[in-house]
Structure 1
Amino acid sequence: MTDDENAAVDAFEGLGLTSYEAKVFIALHRLGAGTARDVADITDVPRSQVYSVADSLEDRGLLEVQQSNPIRYRPVSVDEARELLREQFEREQDRAFEYVESVRDDAAGEETQEDIWTVRGRDRIDDRVVDLCSQAEKRIVFGTRLPELVTDAIGRTLEDRATAGVTVVTMSQIEAVQTAFDSLEDVAVESPFMRRTDDQRSGRIVLVDDDSILLSVIDDDGSETAIWSSESLFASVLIQLIEANLEADVQRA
């Protein structure tokens, strides 16, 4: 098979067909119509397997069978097949996620546990920061020493929450970061006391209301790793400790 045909077979498998089903379906479109022998001659599907594969494709509504001797097969049109597979895919998708929803609902009645999550990779951490900040109702504290960690999406989210009445405080000792914060409307900028001047590991800190926190570090290879927790006793206690230190730093600065 050509690379293009291999890719097509892989794509059909992603839509729920088996490899043999995909190959027989493609072969019949190449032939227009044909017998099991015809299909076996242009594919690597054994003739003995073509019959059962054709039965499966017929059950799916993807081909028609002519009761002749020998039996001949004809595929439905591309548009009809596309619609049938789309509907089948959506049904299977709904079935899968309905089950996941039911499992999640069952778990909702269980005792809440203290969850501390780890997330790796700058893009994923950016998304988590935006998600946490988007849920803020009272207060956000966002701090970093790296300008690249103040992305456009994070900046817009901080501005949006500030406009909605949420108190948004940004913190950094680095001028370039302060400049980025200064460009955000209705966002306060503070410069905490700097205990260390050789910090090369800290990434960012995000405190949301009284119960959500994210802390990240920069790894030796430049990648970022964060831990975060939301609506947990761990987050609440850690936020109290950090904010007490931040308040002391601001007063000392």
Structure 2
Amino acid sequence: MNVSPAPYTVLITGASSGIGYELALRYLQQGATVLALARSEERLAQLAKQFPQQCVPVKVDLADAGDSQRAGEWINQRVQHLDLAVLNAGTCEYVDVNNLSREPFDKVMAINWQGTVNSLLFCLPLLRKKKLLKKTLPENISQMQRAQLVGISSMASILPMPRSQAYGASKVAVEYLFNSLRVDLANEPIDITLVRPGFVKTPLTDRNDFPMPFAQTAAEAAANIMKGINNRHWLVQFPWPLVWLMNAIACLPLRAQVWLLQKISRTSP
């Protein structure tokens, strides 16, 4: 019995660009049915045109509770369950501590945090509806019949990075949410994966005015994420040189972390 590594029904938020778009494209190429959610219609329409029998584009503003509820109800009418949900939608705004305002915090938390919660409200019930195959199937196949919930965090959640007060805080909140869900869902057939990408070249990071060491393309990042998803890893981190560096600094006393990060940020252009 041949089983594709791609889940049959996949939901991906933030699917119109960057990592989300590459994930949607790869799962579609593997034969999955993909519910592609985003605010922008143009790229979703391209995917739907390329994969008319598989791609289900859903235009939605996940930061808006009402629009998210509408989208969730629409999705519930079209699919019986989800095999995989990747909550990827997000943004980044940097904070100027010399000109502090609410705007970057409001923008980032609206989509990175509240958008994740709004997505979870309609994704989790659909993940719970996934039916398991009989236990007599080979172990590697029966494992794949467990539903999977994936949250996209960031390497910024590890350390107090410069100007990242809004972005970093939103990703730490997402990590706490998913790790807490991991505890409460331990007795349910739902696997949870957290992803901490390093720098990824996307339209979002094109705005960055500082060096991005070990930056990967969105396609490379998507490949790393899919590998971690397929292996049911609890935590997916990449690229390894940056993972090692960030975690090494995180092991230092907080005073040393702050001193080192200040020194690095001052030498950056």
Q: Point out the structure with max Rg over C-alpha.
A: 1
TM-score (norm 1): 0.24
Which structure carries more relative contact order (alpha carbon 8 Å, separation 6+)? 2
TM-score (norm 2): 0.23
